[in-house]
Chains A and B, each alone.
Chain A
Amino acid sequence: MLLARRRFFAVAGGAAFALSAGSVPFGSARAATAPQVRIGDLYIDPNAEDLEFSKVANDLNGKPVQVYGFMAPPLKPDLHFFVLASMPLNTCPFCDTAASWPSDILVVQLRHRQPVVGFDQALLVNGRLELGEAIDPDTGFVSRARIADAEYDVAKVAKPCAFGQTCPGA
């Protein structure tokens, strides 16, 4: 019964997302205004040995942002945080040969627990960007960039369609 409830939330979340116009996720008004950032844009050179935050990243530090990404394999079974990667690392064996991995990952600290979604699902994460080294009190791991107070939604993906057409849902 309660698992059903959990699923219901997942479905309800997805449905609300589908209902809301365009790529704006359901719910908060701040989400509509938060600027979108790409994980790769956070650093001047994601492939550099010594990662330096870009101007875009520094400007948005402490502000609400939206980031697209994929959930990396879970570090802890208890999902109050997860790691967001720019590519679906669990399902794309060729994606992670890139030198930038795993420097350009973001630790997403969830506001409240959310259902686990497939690792191949694109996510849209809403939250506050936090830069600089910090130690996670629960795991003892150091992170460089985080999205705090976050919520995520499954991003809408395009349905397959014939050549020459604009696919629906894109």
Chain B
Amino acid sequence: MSPRWLSPAPSGRPAPGPDFLGLGNPLPVILADLRQTRAGVIAVVLLIAVAVALGVGVSAQERALREGSAKGANAFDLIIGAPGSETQLVLSAVYLQASALPLIDGKIFTTLNENKNVKFAAPIGFGDSFNGYQIVGTTAALATLGDTAPLTAGRTFAHVTEAVIGADVQIPLGATFTPVHGQRAVIGQEVEHTHLQYTAVGRMLRMGNPWDRAILVPIEAVWWVHGLPAGHAQYQDIFDLATHADEAPGADETPEQHAAEVAAATKAAANLPIGAPWDTNLLSGVPAIVVKPATFAAAYSLRQTYRQRTDTMAVFPAEVLIQLYSLIGDVRSLLAVISVVTQVLVIGAILLAVLATLALRRKTIAVLRALGASQAYVFVTVWLNVSLMIATGAMLGLGLGWIAAIVISRVFTDRTGLALPVHLGAPEFILAGSIVVIGLFLAAVPSLLTYRQPVSATLRQ
């Protein structure tokens, strides 16, 4: 049976479709040919797509990681902590990665808040959690980032029993909850701090980092709940009451008596003061302090001041991030090389496959020529055929890489809370584009080979 594309056009009517450079329309022939070798074409397109997707995905993902982490750190200009690992301090304070940070003197943040070149300085105290959401003790200034990020609902905490929740925390405003010790409580084995319950009173603006899954409470609450001086004399007065309520019901008291103790402690806690003015003799240590300087000069002078002290360390998150980026960049370049090599191999393999099928098709091409098709027509037909597959594969790969990057970002965000916005940029389009351009050139090789075939010799075979 002769292939469909060889059936002659009805006489008297020109072949339908566009006329290609006066050669006749090659599209019906190409489409017919692609249809005939459907399985092979799909395999070739998919191969190219996967190779391109690898390169595009790595490139887009790396940028997403860079942009996401930079955006996530935007609200944090200067972090002060105890001397040690800068990376660990930044990971803990900015990305809320739990780690045992040594404490620094709590007086430092009160001193900083008196500095006119400081917009705000807020302590960060970790330790407790509720339903998997980390509870972070701080001051009201951090909840609104010094009035630059207004709450989306409610108000900031005004009592030690109130909490402001992150954008993604699934607790309704007005709900009351009891914190548990540690980050991840064993279900049924939670060590609760029963003498202190928080009520959610406000919701923070989305920050695009793990703070969206954090619960912010007054730093006094974190200190007090752990039996530490809480910055105000009033906390000392009801300390025994609170501690007693926190213990398991004793043998000598009925559950009712214990419940009454808890109620009394909770009631007493509601009247405790929070925030400035502090009793500087009763301030406990904090793992980190977030500072928002007012001027460029202040940012550097504060960094300097707290670096020169022997008991503190100060770092711009950007310093750590840039080190991290150069590391990620190295990995990315390695993967980029691998992906380029893959693409070259794939295109090489495809050209080989095309050459192999051309040998099989030698006869039909000769027939085509004998029917009156010009050499140029044959060249264009074969070239377009190969180019079409490469271009389709590259486009598909661009989309595939983009989708892959989005999926990886989703998984990453789900695990860490850090939002990674994926979008295709110039590098990805250049990557896919260069594959297409290289492919178009290389597609000329099999085309030229068929172009030079002698018709009569082939027909005689």
- In the complex, the chain A residue whose C-beta lies closest to that of B340 is A1
- In the complex, the chain A residue whose C-beta lies closest to that of B304 is A96
Among B246-254, B290-298, B415-423, the one that faces the other chain is B290-298
Q: CB-CB < 8 A to B74: which residues of A?
A: 76
Give the distance to chain A from B196, nearest Cβ to Cβ, in Å.
Answer: 35
Task: Tell me the residues in window 136-170 of chain A with beta carbons closer than 8 Å to chain B beta carbons.
Answer: 136, 139-144
Give the distance to chain A from B334, nearest Cβ to Cβ, in Å.
Answer: 10
Q: CB-CB < 8 A to A141: which residues of B?
A: 293-296, 299
Q: CB-CB < 8 A to A142: which residues of B?
A: 294-296
Q: CB-CB < 8 A to A2: which residues of B?
A: 59, 336, 427, 430-431
- In the complex, the chain A residue whose C-beta lies closest to that of B430 is A2
Give the distance to chain A from B185, nearest Cβ to Cβ, in Å.
Answer: 35
Decide yes or no whether A21 CB sits under 8 A from chain B: no
- In the complex, the chain B residue whose C-beta lies closest to that of A140 is B148
Among A25-33, A36-44, A102-110, the one that faces the other chain is A102-110
Known contacts A77-B322, A142-B294: does B148 contact A4 (CB below 8 Å)? Answer: no
Q: CB-CB < 8 A to A144: which residues of B?
A: 295, 297
- Interface 1/0s, chain A 109-142, versus B by CB < 8 A? 0000000100000000000000000001001111
- Interface 1/0s, chain A 87-107, versus B by CB < 8 A? 000000000100001110101
Decide yes or no whether B203 CB sits under 8 A from chain A: no
Whether B304 lies near A101 (C-beta < 8 A) is yes
Among B25-33, B132-140, B313-321, the one that faces the other chain is B313-321
Whether B303 lies near A73 (C-beta < 8 A) is yes
Q: How many A-B residue pairs have CB under 8 A?
A: 79
A18 to B337, CA, bound (A): 30
Known contacts A105-B300, A140-B148: does B316 contact A75 (CB below 8 Å)? Answer: yes
Decide yes or no whether B73 CB sits under 8 A from chain A: yes
- In the complex, the chain A residue whose C-beta lies closest to that of B146 is A140
- In the complex, the chain A residue whose C-beta lies closest to that of B66 is A77
- In the complex, the chain A residue whose C-beta lies closest to that of B332 is A3
Q: CB-CB < 8 A to A105: which residues of B?
A: 296-297, 300
Whether B300 lies near A3 (C-beta < 8 A) is no
Give the distance to chain A from B379, nearest Cβ to Cβ, in Å.
Answer: 31
- Interface 1/0s, chain B 334-375, versus A by CB < 8 A? 001100100000000000000000000000000000000000
Decide yes or no whether A65 CB sits under 8 A from chain B: no
Known contacts A1-B336, A76-B70, A102-B304: does B431 contact A143 (CB below 8 Å)? Answer: no
Q: CB-CB < 8 A to B73: which residues of A?
A: 77
Of the candidates A4, A72, A136, the one whose C-beta lies within 8 Å of that of B300 is A72
Decide yes or no whether B85 CB sits under 8 A from chain A: no
Decide yes or no whether A74 CB sits under 8 A from chain B: yes
Decide yes or no whether B329 CB sits under 8 A from chain A: yes
Whether B427 lies near A74 (C-beta < 8 A) is no
Of the candidates A1, A102, A139, A143, the one whose C-beta lies within 8 Å of that of B77 is A139
Whether B296 lies near A4 (C-beta < 8 A) is no
A109 to B292, CA, bound (A): 21
- Interface 1/0s, chain A 40-58, versus B by CB < 8 A? 0000000000000000000
Decide yes or no whether A78 CB sits under 8 A from chain B: yes
- In the complex, the chain B residue whose C-beta lies closest to that of A85 is B300
Whether B431 lies near A1 (C-beta < 8 A) is yes
- In the complex, the chain A residue whose C-beta lies closest to that of B63 is A2
A107 to B332, CA, bound (A): 31
Which of A105, A141, A142: most chain B Cβ within 10 A? A141
Known contacts A3-B333, A139-B77: does B297 contact A73 (CB below 8 Å)? Answer: no
Known contacts A74-B322, A105-B297, A141-B294; 11 additional CB pairs below 8 A are A2-B336, A2-B430, A3-B333, A72-B300, A73-B300, A74-B319, A76-B74, A77-B73, A105-B296, A140-B119, A142-B296
**Could you list which residues of chain A lie within 8 angstroms of chain B, going by C-beta atoms?**
1-4, 72-78, 83, 85, 96, 101-103, 105, 107, 116, 136, 139-144
**Could you list which residues of chain B lie within 8 angstroms of chain A, going by C-beta atoms?**
59, 66, 69-70, 73-74, 77, 119, 148, 292-297, 299-301, 303-304, 316-319, 321-322, 325, 329, 332-333, 336-337, 340, 427, 430-431
A-B contact pairs, 12 of them (CB 8 A): A1-B333, A1-B337, A2-B430, A3-B333, A73-B300, A76-B74, A77-B73, A83-B300, A96-B304, A101-B301, A141-B294, A141-B299
Instruction: List the 6 shortest-distance A-B pairs measured between CB atoms, nearest first.
Output: A102-B300, A77-B321, A142-B295, A74-B318, A77-B318, A77-B70
